[in-house]
Amino acid sequence: MKHTKNMISTIYDTLNASDLDELEDIYKNWASDYEYDVIQLAGYVGHLITSDLLLNNLENSNARILDAGCGTGLVGEILFKNNFKNIEGIDFSEEMLSIANQKNIYKSLNLFDLTKKLAYSNNSFDAVICAGTFTCGHVGPESLEEMLRITKKGGFICFTVRKQEWEAAPYMKILDKLVNSYSLKKVVHNTSDYNIKEGVSCQLCLYQKTC
């Protein structure tokens, strides 16, 4: 991943982490500045576009929602303000979770690695939302199947994929496979703003698990 003109250095470091230990270390040191850096400096809107999209498609405000890669809780804050309060968060960074915890919006926050099997039963959540986490050096398309396993029939998965990650990894191939195995229905899949000040777009996706 190249360092482009407007990319802030910590984002560059996270996208180029050589393994999950290095990535975890970067988030550990970045957690307290994360929100200022991504929103003010990079113009990040991943939390806004995913929350908006999910809120436009979820009817029941008691819906059980998993915020996967919840970080400091930017997504949870929006859902909570919109009266969706049955939210759980998972992330692999203790320091990011600790900031999310201070907001008192999540029913539970747990330390999980999204590249591993998740400790939830099949068909547990009405929606899984994952903003900013399918990106270079983070979580790849292989994790989509696990997110779908824990999504209820009729439930949604809503996520962003950073442009360069979308181009480098087989998202479309894996989604096509999942469309067959889970009768996944594409609700929205388009190109959207992502890190506006950095000039980077993403794929914004909402899929529904129909069986």
Ligand X SMILES: C[S@@+](CC[C@H](N)C(=O)[O-])C[C@H]1O[C@@H](n2cnc3c(N)ncnc32)[C@H](O)[C@@H]1O
Positions that interact with ligand X (CB under 6 A) = 20, 23, 27, 46-47, 69-71, 74-75, 91-93, 96, 113-115, 131-133, 138-139
Question: What is the closest distance, in whole angstroms, from the C-beta atom of residue 74 to ligand X in the complex?
Answer: 4
Strand ranges (E), 69-124: 87-91, 108-111
Question: What is the closest distance, in whole angstroms, from the C-beta atom of residue 72 to ligand X in the complex?
Answer: 6
Tell me which DSSP letter residue 5 carries.
T
Question: What is the closest distance, in whole angstroms, from the C-beta atom of residue 127 to ligand X in the complex?
Answer: 14
117 vs 185 by CB, closer to ligand X: 117
Write down the residue that tokens 């442009």 correspond to.
163
135 vs 151 by CB, closer to ligand X: 135
Cβ–Cβ under 8 Å, residues 139 and 15: no
Closest CA to 38 of 80, 65, 78, 73: 73
Question: What is the closest distance, in whole angstroms, from the C-beta atom of residue 171 to ligand X in the complex?
Answer: 16
93 vs 201 by CB, closer to ligand X: 93
Instruction: Give the integer Cα–Cα distance in Å for 197 and 200.
Output: 8
